[in-house]
Amino acid sequence: LDAGATGTTRIFGVNSAGMRIGDGVTGGGYLLDNSEFSRIRTGSLLIAAMDVSNLPVDMRIGNLAVAGPLVSGSTIGLPDGSVTFFTGDIRAQAPSGTIRVVGSLKARGFGAANALAFEDATTEVDAETGLIEILGAGSDLAGSMEFLGRRLHVAPAATLDRLQLDPFYVGRVEDLNRPLATPRPDGVLRAFEIGTDNEEAVLIQNTGTQFLPAGILVSADGPIDFSSSPAPGSIEFIVNGQIMTPSGLLTGADAYAFLVDDSNRAVFSADSTINGCAVSVATCISAQPPQNFTQADTFAFLDTDTATDTASVSSVVSADPEPAADEPASEEERKAEEEGAEAGKRAPIPPPAPLINTRPLDPPVNVEEPVAGSGNPALIGGSQP
């Protein structure tokens, strides 16, 4: 299908068993595999499926590669072109139904105004197998994701199925904030900008760890700004992730403090959390409960004002805490131990380190000015370098 770099292509699926896009997707319905998708050339693309009442999921997206205008073999050629996945009433153009991403949906070559959009009632991403990522011509995050339905759910398949039956089931907050059994520390929604419109709930699983929560990776230059005026307490926001800011990459309680303040706090429901921090409170001391350490755990507290090399640290950790049974300690050794114990009682407990993740994920991004997306950037927005 070739509509040229400035044309528009619309594909309508009318199969009563639904639609499958990409590779590695099981089930019935119409299938458009990745090889077929790669032979589409257009300016903007719409792929639509009917909302079938007896199907829990109307469109499933597997492993799919999308090429933007900044690379060769472009799927979409317009600098502001988009790829939109739609479920609902096709004739009336009324979104409804469910789209689930079960594989890696990767877009590359996207510019600042290019977007992947999802129009439905609920967009789901399997946190264990799914991924949505948008890159520019290189490895930098770029473009925007636009979720234009009422609900966004990112969680393991079992949790997604449970949320379909009861989106308010007791224990959902704990389930979503609990790390995955196999962590995915880079997150599963990765773009320069993520926007939502008319959302009732944004639920994003912690794909990282207790102390370095992950789930989304997106840029932001300030607190979440709702361009509309949601009613107080109207949005359930249980989100885990990392935020690229002008001063660095934030996670844990630091990301919460950056995104929430008195200008937006009232919009969220009472059970809303960001990285485990309750949005209803002004300060989150710790994003996660304390760890339960055992006697097998060994620690070395180092004076940060004293230069200590690796060998010294190793010797502290591995040193035998007691003399051998057949080698009684000398008077000098006993005296040194007593003095060390007394000093330990007087030593202050070091404060916890801030939850700032300094490991490299993407090359540095300079955030300068806000860039408006084509949807309502009501979740988290950013700006292009």
What is the rounded CA–CA span in Å between residue 220 and residue 381?
Answer: 6
Average pLDDT, the chain: 83
Q: What's the pLDDT tens digit per position in 218-272?
A: 999 888 887 677 889 999 999 999 999 988 999 999 999 999 999 889 999 999 9
- Given this model, what pLDDT does residue 265 score? 92
- Given this model, what pLDDT does residue 285 score? 54
- Given this model, what pLDDT does residue 172 score? 97
Q: How confident is the model at residue 323 (pLDDT cuts 50, 70, 90)?
A: very low
Q: Cα-flanking dihedrals φ and ψ of residue 104, to 5°?
A: -95, 110
Taking phi first (over 0 means left), then psi (-120 to 50 degrees means alpha), and beta for anything else, what does residue 29 get?
Answer: left
Q: Is the pLDDT of residue 164 over 80?
A: yes
Token pair of 293 as six digits: 């350490």
HSE on the CB side for 134, CA within 13 Å?
Answer: 27
Q: How far is CA 196 from CA 109, 154, 173, in A?
A: 22, 14, 21
Token pair of 141 as six digits: 């995050």
Q: Is the pLDDT of residue 30 over 50?
A: yes
Residue 63's CB is within 10 A of a number of other CB atoms, namely 18
What is the rounded CA–CA span in Å between residue 206 and residue 214?
Answer: 5
Do 139 and 179 touch, CB atoms closer than 8 A? no
Q: Is the pLDDT of residue 180 over 50?
A: yes
Residue 254's CB is within 10 A of a number of other CB atoms, namely 22
Average pLDDT over residues 94-119: 98
Residue 342's CB is within 10 A of a number of other CB atoms, namely 9
DSSP state of 291: P
Do 63 and 33 touch, CB atoms closer than 8 A? no
State how beta strands 236-239 and 248-250 pair. unpaired
- Given this model, what pLDDT does residue 138 score? 95
- Given this model, what pLDDT does residue 199 score? 75
Average pLDDT over residues 319-346: 55
- Given this model, what pLDDT does residue 366 score? 54
What is the rounded CA–CA span in Å between residue 324 and residue 322?
Answer: 6
Instruction: Report the number of secondary-structure helices (H) and strands (E) in the chain.
Output: 6, 24
DSSP three-state, residue 322? coil
In the chain, pLDDT over 90 holds for what percent of residues? 66
DSSP three-state, residue 208? coil
Task: Kindly report which listed range (45-49, 243-247, 315-319, 322-326) carries the lowest average pLDDT score.
Answer: 315-319
328 vs 217, residue with greater confidence: 217
- State which H helix or E strand residue 343 sits in: helix 331-346
Residue 265's CB is within 10 A of a number of other CB atoms, namely 16
Q: How confident is the model at residue 340 (pLDDT cuts 50, 70, 90)?
A: low
Task: Kindly report which listed range (168-177, 223-232, 331-340) carries the lowest average pLDDT score.
Answer: 331-340
Average pLDDT over residues 182-206: 93
Residue 221's CB is within 10 A of a number of other CB atoms, namely 17
Specify burial of residue 31 (Cβ count, 10 A radius: 0-12, 13-18, 19+).
middle
Q: Is the pLDDT of residue 337 over 80?
A: no
Residue 100's CB is within 10 A of a number of other CB atoms, namely 22
306 vs 149, residue with greater confidence: 149
Q: Is the pLDDT of residue 283 over 70?
A: yes
- Given this model, what pLDDT does residue 343 score? 52
What is the rounded CA–CA span in Å between residue 119 and residue 90?
Answer: 11
Q: What's the pLDDT tens digit per position in 347-385?
A: 554 444 444 554 555 555 554 444 444 444 454 555 444
